[in-house]
């Protein structure tokens, strides 16, 4: 459709960080970094690798697989799990899977085929109607999200803005959300503000979170920096 509009004489600006989309639909590519134009190239002379280099300011080395991963014992196990979608119809139907130490397990499927429900079951956000969820051998079926976090599970939601952060909280408040109630950030019912500030500042630097300050409202950050806050 975009190509048809261009052929009809329309002018279009297509904004994306997805290389395959940019390469597929554009005639020229202008790259922005930190609010400034770093270059414009004809798409025919560009490649995903060259555009990525322009975007980040350095050459990106592709990760190379050095051999088969050495996987350890089972960490997360789902055994014959059933769970309903928001419409109360089954989204997961007797699903079983195992994730082992040192392993990256990829899940593929067309959107709407149970991926979100599976992630929410594993993180304690969605109730299991049948089956079991075990983390390091401990049965945590029906456990709350807080219990799953305490057991060592992390979760990056697909909707990072509405479910990954508290938008009205500062960056530092979001960084300590899961640990604000325990040492070293808390002493009894009191928050150790100086320690929180110091730790948050170091974490922002370590994860290269682009923010004016750790006191900045987290919801005002760019999508990529919000993602970094969640991962940190």
**What mean pLDDT is predicted for residues 41-45?**
94
Residue 68 has pLDDT above 80, yes or no: no
The first and second tokens of residue 181, run together, are 């109630």
What is the pLDDT at residue 61?
73
Is 74-150 in CATH node 3.40.50.300? yes
Residue 66 has pLDDT above 80, yes or no: no
Residue 67 has pLDDT above 80, yes or no: no
Q: With cut-offs at 50, 70 and 90, classify the pLDDT of residue 197.
A: very high
Question: What DSSP character marks residue 63?
Answer: P
**Ranges of each domain in the chain:** 2-56, 74-150, 160-231
The single residue listed with the structure tokens 């219990």 is 147
What is the pLDDT at residue 207?
95
Give CA–CA dist 176/165, Å, rounded. Answer: 11
What is the pLDDT at residue 3?
84
Highest mean pLDDT among 11-25, 62-76, 138-152: 138-152
What is the pLDDT at residue 33?
86
Give CA–CA dist 102/225, Å, rounded. Answer: 26
């Amino acid at each position: 459709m975009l190509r048809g509009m261009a052929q009809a004489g329309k002018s279009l600006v297509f904004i994306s960080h997805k290389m395959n989309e940019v390469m597929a639909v554009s005639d020229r590519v202008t790259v922005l970094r930190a609010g400034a134009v770093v270059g414009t190239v004809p798409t025919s002379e560009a490649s995903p690798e060259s555009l990525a280099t322009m975007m980040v300011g350095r050459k990106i080395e592709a990760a190379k697989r050095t051999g088969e991963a050495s996987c350890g014992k089972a960490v997360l196990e789902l055994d014959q799990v059933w769970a309903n979608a928001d419409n109360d119809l089954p989204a997961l139907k007797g699903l079983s899977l195992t994730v082992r130490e040192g392993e990256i397990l990829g899940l593929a499927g067309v959107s709407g085929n149970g991926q979100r429900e599976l992630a929410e079951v594993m993180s304690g956000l969605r109730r299991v109607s049948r089956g079991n969820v075990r983390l390091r051998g401990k049965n945590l079926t029906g456990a709350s999200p807080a219990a799953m976090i305490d057991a060592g599970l992390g979760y990056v939601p697909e909707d990072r803005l509405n479910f990954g952060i508290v938008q009205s909280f500062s960056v530092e408040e979001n960084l300590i959300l899961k640990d604000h109630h325990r040492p070293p950030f808390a002493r009894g019912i009191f928050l150790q503000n100086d320690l929180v500030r110091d730790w948050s500042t170091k974490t922002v630097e370590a994860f290269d979170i682009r923010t004016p300050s750790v006191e900045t409202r987290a919801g005002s950050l760019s999508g990529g920096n919000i993602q970094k806050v969640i991962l940190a």
